[in-house]
Chain A
Amino acid sequence: MRNIQKIIKDGARKAVARDDVKYVLGWTPGYGFRVSPFFARTAEDTERLIFSPLCANNLTIYLTLQEKLPLPKAAALDKRKIALFVKGCDSRAVIQLIAERGISRDELVILGVPCGGVIDISKLEAKFPQAIKVEAVEEGEKLSLKVDGKSQEIPKEDILLKKCSLCEYPNPLIYDVLLGEEKQKKTKDYQGISTFEEKSPNEKWTYWGDKFARCIRCYACRNICPLCYCDSCILDKLSPQWIRRSVNLSENTVFQLLRTFHLTGRCIGCGECERACPMGIPVGELNRKLEKDVRELFAYEPGIDIEEKSLLSQFKPEDSEDFIL
């Protein structure tokens, strides 16, 4: 097996050398345990790119997040493409974005990297409270970690993000170039969701009330979501004002439910919302519940096919209606 670091650097260098490519979006080592998104504009830049189980960030967000300053009158439009690295889950975000016309396929050069799962930093911090710098290399079902210079081996399931241990799509579903070897798929399991589904309505209120009460409305979950890309979010609207600015259980609940429902049939389960939440609210659980319902009721899965129509704009006479009271 060739070294994955060399493979991705080669891939990035080739992409950035193309005349029709603006930059390559990838990952680079960041502060402490963390990995930062990185915009490589030159061959030299590409030397700084890495790929490891620490590369949790879904880079798709940077396709729609980039702030566009008004284009001066005489200036020509930069029509060059953006090259970006995608893991399996990230690639579904790209597909969904294309399906929703958030971006066009020919604006992109997609560099796919099969992924064996990414590390949950909070688990890492709990295991190595004193550590300053960590590097990780995937070795089958184990991870080999270098914690402040010392090598450690650790079983994957102890340290991966929950969504990764159940990952159905480790391999990118859309790409121009595939870098690295394809990984084994796992079967999706909604066990966690069933336990909260079984709760009574009152228990559910208590369960979520406790969690939503913690929300500080920083909107990190919205901001990091690759599919929350409206130019103007209704949360920011003042007239009419759908949600008040005040942070309290009632407004927080409305916010969380609105965020979830806006992702119905759209959420591709990259789990970035949950990862970004500074208060540790399991917001992804709500998304997974809707994902499960959508799959069971309508046999629909977003982010698979760029030609697929939006779930909520489709109607079939045979659609399940059991949920209508």
Chain B
Amino acid sequence: MRKKIGVYVCHCGVNISATVDIEKVCKLASGLPGVAAAKDYTYLCSDPGQELIKKDIKELGLEKVVIAACSPRMHEQTFRGTCEEAELNPYCLEMANIREQCSWVHKEKDKATRKAAALISASVAKASLLEPLSEKEVDVIPKALVIGGGISGIQSSLDIADAGFGVYLVEKDPSIGGHMAQLDKTFPTLDCSACILTPKMVDVYRHPNIELLTYCEVISVDGFIGNFKVKVRKKPRYVNINKCNGCGACAEACLLKGRIASEFEAGMGKRGAIYVPFPQAVPLVYTIDSEKCLFLRKGKCGKSPACKAACGPEAIDFEQKEEIIELEIGTIVVATGFDVFPAKEKPEYGYDAYSNVITGLEFERLSSASGPTFGKIKIGGKEPEDVVFIQCVGSRDKELGNEYCSRVCCMYTAKQAHLVREKLPNANITVFYIDVRAFGKGFEEFYDRVKKEGIIYRRGNASEVYRRGEKLIVRAEDTLLGEALEVETDLVVLSTGLVQRDVGELKNALRLSQSSDRFFLEAHPKLRPMDTATAGVYLAGCCQGPKDIPDSVAQASGAAAKAIVPLATGKVKIDPIISFVDENICRGCGICITTCPYDAIELKEITRDGYPVEVAFVNDVLCKGCGACVASCLSGAIQQRSFTDEQILSQITALGVE
């Protein structure tokens, strides 16, 4: 047998050498079949460590390299680079994990040494069967898709567009702006939310690189990084957006004016069947609510639709149909946002029963100068004398399955309490909390300030809200005093948390996973917080987990930077460790197709012995090398490169299992 394998054993300082007898292991490794050299070094990942390997590759003419060190998750890329620099194919490298899987988990040196030797001999056996692989490159369409037009989507779109790439921003509602547009003031700086948001919305509208697709939904995503084919459903607005000048005459004329609960006002205000969500909407174009409009529902609205008669530019078009647009995209940023926790799922707080129990978002509209009460905090036409805030409604609640902290409620409650104090100086304000989490920049200072404004913070979650005479009673236990108490109040604000929104088929179309809190799962919680398991798809904002505005904006810019990289380089490299099909064996049953989580396999027809037969075909670009298809194939026709049955069986055999 040709001796062309080099084995390098790392001490990892004392991480490995304290438990594994390196000298003994090297001696055993040098006697393994095919091994030309077995050497050790304190830190192989250091420069001199890598030099040692490079020198051997050149001088000994090594064809395969085995590194016995840490997990390949840590340094496989490093050592692949080392091989490449020494002009050896980077896929001729095999790592034996003798740190995480050996030295760190064992105490007895003798046994750990034997195990390390066994792991190395298995890697040597596999290395001798490794084959050089080459990386493919594909071109990238220099355009991005951003799904969701809240602050995260807006920020990502602007950043990508500013870098010089085309952006399609798809928003399901008639206007961009998202939840941020609904907020009154932002914590802890107390600047007006709409005032800082609307200039950005206008920037989006004006940006030459951004194509804004409002009142649209992504219905399917095909293809792969660099070459996504996306279908978007353009819902009919029944208003020609090129003609509408946003004058509002139609809304004034609508027979249902002021009779439909406004989504933007969180149900606190009313709108008509033809509406703009809010005066600064972008685009400022009216939309007819087809589920409410009398003419669209019943075919009849008075003698003739009043809106149509009122419209000067003749923009109203009841004949409009839904349209499907096809887009070609290089990378995708998902910024689908969140939903407010439905307060009715905590019936003990009486949200459904009492009109003076409201959610945090409803309070924002009540407090907003542009809201239905023009910023006056009035309930049933009266200013409340007593106000109670209940924190953690729908968050940190195992019974509901929402174990997580929604991260914004402590601070928005503090802000709202402050706003009440500002507007109603004599009101008695009580906040019930479990813990106050004031972790961000300026948060603790703000919380401290609010506490000094005569707002009573009582530790303990409220158990019940009920009516007694004119007043509402909040029953709770003060866990610091250890006593039960009842507080009379005129207004209860529930600090409702953030929950994942149902995005329907989009989740499957983008092949996104969810963590146990149901928010979308990032590729790595620490090191790849914007990436997903699907290459070319990135996450921004609350769809990945609850965030405040600064965090959403930061992540959105991060996701934009990530999405720009493939657009800027113009090429993406495809990992060659993927599956491949032996067409002579494949029976075309398609079990691999249903198993594949990435839709990377399809059937194609070939001719075998003159007969047309269908066999599986792996799309190199879509395949992520997860190996699920290999496990599912009954005839062993599908295999994964660098993990073929032969390679793995040789490893098992070397471990002494026959």
Contacts and interface: CB of A to CB of B under 8 A. Distances in A.
A232 B613 CA distance: 15
Contacts of B586: 231
A71 B611 CA distance: 7
Given A102-B587, A231-B587, A312-B632, A70 B609 contact: yes
A69 B609 CA distance: 8
Contacts of B587: 102, 229-231
B590 A68 contact: no
B591 A310 contact: yes
Contact of A234 (B590, B592, B610, B636): B636
Given A234-B635, A313-B595, A77 B611 contact: yes
A313 B611 contact: no
A240 B635 contact: no
Given A232-B635, A262-B634, A100 B591 contact: yes
Interface string A76-91: 0100000000000000
A195 interface: no
Interface residues of A, number: 26
Nearest to B592: A313
Contacts of B637: 232
A233 interface: yes
A324 interface: no
Contacts of B634: 230, 234, 262
Interface in B301-333: none
Interface in B160-185: none
Contacts, number: 64
Contacts of A72: 610
Interface in A50-80: 68-73, 75, 77
B609 A231 contact: no
A187 interface: no
Interface in B433-448: none
Contacts of B595: 310, 312-313
Contact of B594 (A69, A75, A234, A310): A310
Contacts of B646: 239-240
Contacts of A75: 610
B138 interface: no
Interface string B527-567: 00000000000000000000000000000000000000000
Nearest to B597: A315
Given A75-B610, A102-B589, A230 B635 contact: yes
A191 interface: no
B649 interface: yes
Given A239-B646, A262-B634, A101 B614 contact: yes
B343 to A, nearest CB: 26
Nearest to B613: A231
A224 B260 CA distance: 69
A314 B594 CA distance: 7
Nearest to B614: A101
A310 B649 CA distance: 27
A231 B636 CA distance: 11
A233 B636 CA distance: 8
B639 to A, nearest CB: 11
A237 interface: yes
A231 B609 CA distance: 13
Contacts of A239: 646
Nearest to A263: B634
A232 B584 contact: yes
B585 interface: yes
A295 interface: no
B375 interface: no
Interface in B583-608: 584-592, 594-595, 603
7 contacts: A71-B611, A75-B610, A101-B588, A232-B635, A237-B636, A310-B632, A313-B591
Interface of A: 68-73, 75, 77, 100-102, 229-234, 237, 239-240, 262, 309-310, 312-314
Given A101-B590, A310-B595, 12 more contacts: A70-B609, A73-B610, A100-B591, A231-B586, A231-B587, A232-B585, A237-B636, A240-B645, A310-B632, A312-B595, A313-B594, A313-B632
